Structure 1
Amino acid sequence: MAFSGYAELWANKPVRALYAAAFFARIPALAAPLVFTLYVVGELEGTYAQAGFVAASTTVGAAIGMPWRGRLIDRIGMRRTILPSIIGVGVLYPLATIATYAWLIPVSFLMGVFLIPIFSIVRLSLSVMVEERQRRTAFAADSVMAEASFIIGPAVGVLLVTQAGAATALYAIGASEVIAGLIFMRLNPPTRSKPVADVPPTEAPAVKTSFMSVPLVFLFLISGGTMASLIGTDLGIVAELRELDQVKVIGLTYGLWGVSSLLGGLLYGSLDRSIRPTYLLLALGLTTIPVGLGNHAWSLSLWVIPTGFLCAPTMTAAAEWIAKLVPEERRGEAMGWQGTAFTVGGAASSPVIGAAIDGVGAWGGFVVGGSIATGIALACWIGQLIPAFRPERHAMVDPPRSNTT
């Protein structure tokens, strides 16, 4: 292990600025789902099921929008791609505060479509801004920053709702996302070794070859399986603590889960070699299944530490290998498809996990979420035993780049 890699990254001023911008941009994005739920059940006097439909509408919109905008980043550059997103969120969030519930569904769908693609931009830019030997550390550091935003975002959302009301919170989130988009436009992080942001669309190089491969599909499946494990842990923690009548300690349990993921990401980024994400997902799934054995608040909090420790490394490794398998001129679209895989994995597994909790209790959420992740990992592992489908055979070598990036 070598933690000096983090110091080397932090000494790079453009990389440091990108991390800071991504950290603050993710906070309102992560606060939004909880605020929308509280807005629907509070100010609109709806049900949690109705709030779930709003969340599902945003999810579908994001799943459609992320690959499309990733492809635009590849073709016309980051600035032109996110400008419609900045305008969209600037209009849609105020509109949501005056919309009836029926109109809130299409509004939330458009919010998903025009969601600023922070994940794709940051991972794509890092793959260009740092050398290949630094990618693991760079992606791990981004996962750590994302975990910190995840810890802060929902708490900020609840604070805004309780102190100023859900409608005001939506205004604040919309304004914050507009500011975040403008910051990214100002930074204009590179998405190619040779910047294309100032090249007219008609002059952008046309890339018609497909970047898809079986190993890449495996990585998208692994990304979806990772989200199934996270959803199982997320819903399972809430259900378990409600069964134990210990909801008041939910902050402690989530805190240990988040901090252990943060530490896992830091350690993975310090390694001098990559670990295949298939193996990490298998370990993540297997450590998620027994979490329900924690039949006290304190034991539950301890059981989530191993699975949390593997969260950030699994997501980091998947992004690292996508960067290896996809040529630079198509990585934006590929990162967008990974975002869709995360979204679809969470959306598809949530009803099954929820039904398991309703049917057998909180422990069912951990078992089902962990089993889905384990099953996907085993299927991918078996597929990768075929020589032609091994990811190493498809890895790309990036062209040399100058020190200007």
Structure 2
Amino acid sequence: MLAQYRRLFTRPGTVAFTLAGLLARLSMSMTGVSLVVLIAERRGSYALAGTVAAAGLVAVAIGMPLIGRLVDRFGQARVTVPAVLYNLVPLCGLLLCVRLGAPDWTLYLCWAAGSAVPNLGGMARARWAHLLRDAPDDRHLANSLEQALDELCFMTGPVLGMVLCTTVAPEAGMLAAGGVGAGGALLFAAQRRTEPPTADRPATTVAADRSPLRVPALRVLTLTFLSTGMVFGALDLTTVAYADALGNRPVAGGLLALVAAGSCVAGLVFGTLRPTGPAGARFLRGVAAMAGLLLLPLAAGLGGAGLALLGVALFAAGTGTAPTMVTGMTLIQELLPQRQLNEAMAIAVSGIMIGISTGSALAGALAEHAAPGAGYWIPAGAAALALLIALAGRRHLGVGPRPPGRTASEPTVSATR
């Protein structure tokens, strides 16, 4: 397995941008848990923590596709550097407002102001797509690696954030996340050798480009990813609240790490398997597996199985997410032209962000008004919704009969232009 992944890094510059991107994404995995613990500790409300997190994620979901379009037009480095420096301002504002006891509305305002977040994961995948444009098998391997790295971040980040918040100070997790994220993003932007070229087009042509959302398959994928984001958001907050209800809140970071560990292992193994059949069919199978496996945490939570068995269930549930995400990103790379790839992947990630915010808000409210294990109904239901959406749009994904008016040889992208 390692030999297959090692061959990706024989290309010059790939090690540098991968490590820098990994460092930047580590901060994202720390932020969610650190924000929840900070506000819950200083303000005593999981509901407030969930809705503040939701406000920030909605703002990022709106801003990220716009940043992605700028990246496609002007290049990764020219957009990433000012965006990263700007986002440090609202982060500092949030920490000050929490520390000084400012009104709750200031927390929403500060966190929503940090909306200029570059999609580092999407930019890394765009680099791989450019470097491996003539090697589809290696591109599948690279997408699997990136997903595994994402999960590695979400395996270690919550634990690190929880440790900092509970042993140093409630603000420590957010401070560390801001510093690590800014440093990693700036290092990533400095790797100019592997940066994909920008589209060499007049401004009038760029303005006339249609949105990638006009591609039907991207709409299906974005809605499916939105439901998958609900899984992530609800699972995170429910697990923190569940561990807290049992008097073991510091264990929550480890439980969330098990979800990411399951996905990381599944992603690495999935990358070594040679893709067979249409990517759309593989995507449907992945969503179905995810929906089935998310019944396990629900059963453990409702059955009062304890934290040990819940951890096993969360690890198993995590194995269903990586194949879905890897295949979904592969579909986007196949369906969208290079000149819109950053924007398209940012739209997909924005769907995940909106889903995370929705799942966090729902789980936060439920955590205060229902038994702790009841919150696991939300990720299980969201996974089922993702499967229904993918099934309803399967013809746009290349599964089953084609949409009316499209010939067998006509690609999805050209049908929308």
Give the TM-score taking structure 1 as reference length.
0.84
Q: Does 1:73 align with 2:56?
A: no
Contact 1:228 1:370 in 2 (8 A): no
Q: Which amino acid aligns with 1:279?
A: R
Q: Give the superposition deviation at 1:77.
A: 0.9
Q: Give the superposition deviation at 1:66.
A: 0.7
Give the structure 2 partner of residue 347 of structure 1.
357
Give the structure 2 partner of residue 400 of structure 1.
none
Q: Give the superposition deviation at 1:6.
A: 0.8
Cα 1:232–1:162 shift into 2, 3 Å: closer
Q: Does 1:150 align with 2:165?
A: no
Q: What is the aligned-residue identity percentage?
A: 23
Cα 1:367–1:108 shift into 2, 3 Å: closer
Q: Which amino acid aligns with 2:76?
A: M
Cα 1:87–1:237 shift into 2, 3 Å: closer
Cα 1:177–1:313 shift into 2, 3 Å: same
1:54 and 1:387 map into 2 onto residues whose CA distance is: 43
Contact 1:222 1:277 in 2 (8 A): no
1:392 and 1:227 map into 2 onto residues whose CA distance is: 34
Q: Which amino acid aligns with 1:337?
A: I
Q: Does 1:118 align with 2:115?
A: no
For each residue in 1:158-200, what CA deviation from the matched residue of structure 2 results, as whole angstroms up to 9, or x when unmatched? 34344553456544433333322321221136554xx129x79
Q: Give the superposition deviation at 1:351.
A: 4.0
SS at match of 1:276: helix
Bigger shift: 236-245 or 211-220?
Answer: 236-245
1:143 and 1:224 map into 2 onto residues whose CA distance is: 17
Gaps of 5+ in 2: none
Cα 1:178–1:245 shift into 2, 3 Å: closer
Q: Which amino acid aligns with 1:110?
A: A
Give the structure 2 partner of residue 17 of structure 1.
16
Q: What is the aligned length? A: 391
Q: Does 1:135 align with 2:165?
A: no
Give the structure 2 partner of residue 215 of structure 1.
217
Give the TM-score taking structure 2 as reference length.
0.82
SS at match of 2:294: helix
Of residues 66, 84, 109, the one that matches 1:106 is 109
Cα 1:393–1:344 shift into 2, 3 Å: farther
Contact 2:24 2:182 in 1 (8 A): no
For each residue in 1:255-294, what CA deviation from the matched residue of structure 2 results, as whole angstroms up to 9, or x when unmatched? 4322221110011111111562222112101211243322
1:39 and 1:283 map into 2 onto residues whose CA distance is: 34
Q: Give the superposition deviation at 1:313.
A: 1.6
SS at match of 1:121: helix
Cα 1:133–1:163 shift into 2, 3 Å: same
Q: Give the superposition deviation at 1:213.
A: 1.9
Map 1:330-369 onto structure 2 (within 5 A). 330-353=340-363, 361-369=371-379
For each residue in 1:241-265, what CA deviation from the matched residue of structure 2 results, as whole angstroms up to 9, or x when unmatched? 4566665654554343222211100
1:359 and 1:47 map into 2 onto residues whose CA distance is: 12
1:169 and 1:243 map into 2 onto residues whose CA distance is: 22
Q: Which amino acid aligns with 1:321?
A: L
Cα 1:336–1:135 shift into 2, 3 Å: same
Give the structure 2 partner of residue 288 of structure 1.
294
Q: Give the superposition deviation at 1:232.
A: 4.2
Contact 2:228 2:386 in 1 (8 A): no
Map 1:301-316 onto structure 2 (within 5 A). 301-316=311-326
Bigger shift: 127-136 or 241-250?
Answer: 241-250
Q: Give the superposition deviation at 1:33.
A: 3.0
1:91 and 1:351 map into 2 onto residues whose CA distance is: 25
SS at match of 2:319: helix
1:371 and 1:38 map into 2 onto residues whose CA distance is: 25
Contact 2:296 2:314 in 1 (8 A): no
1:232 and 1:276 map into 2 onto residues whose CA distance is: 25
For each residue in 1:356-390, what CA deviation from the matched residue of structure 2 results, as whole angstroms up to 9, or x when unmatched? 66666444433332233223313322432462359
Gaps of 5+ in 1: 398-405
Q: Which amino acid aligns with 2:51?
A: F
Q: Which amino acid aligns with 2:156?
A: I
1:84 and 1:375 map into 2 onto residues whose CA distance is: 38
2:11 and 2:26 map into 1 onto residues whose CA distance is: 23
Cα 1:163–1:203 shift into 2, 3 Å: farther
Give the structure 2 partner of residue 388 of structure 1.
402
For each residue in 1:52-108, what CA deviation from the matched residue of structure 2 results, as whole angstroms up to 9, or x when unmatched? 332122112101111100111111111221132122123333333333344332221
Contact 1:279 1:377 in 2 (8 A): no
Contact 1:15 1:129 in 2 (8 A): no
Contact 1:40 1:50 in 2 (8 A): yes
Root-mean-square deviation (CA), in Å?
Answer: 3.2
Contact 1:356 1:365 in 2 (8 A): yes
Q: Give the superposition deviation at 1:141.
A: 0.7
Q: Which amino acid aligns with 2:299?
A: L
Q: Does 1:63 align with 2:61?
A: yes
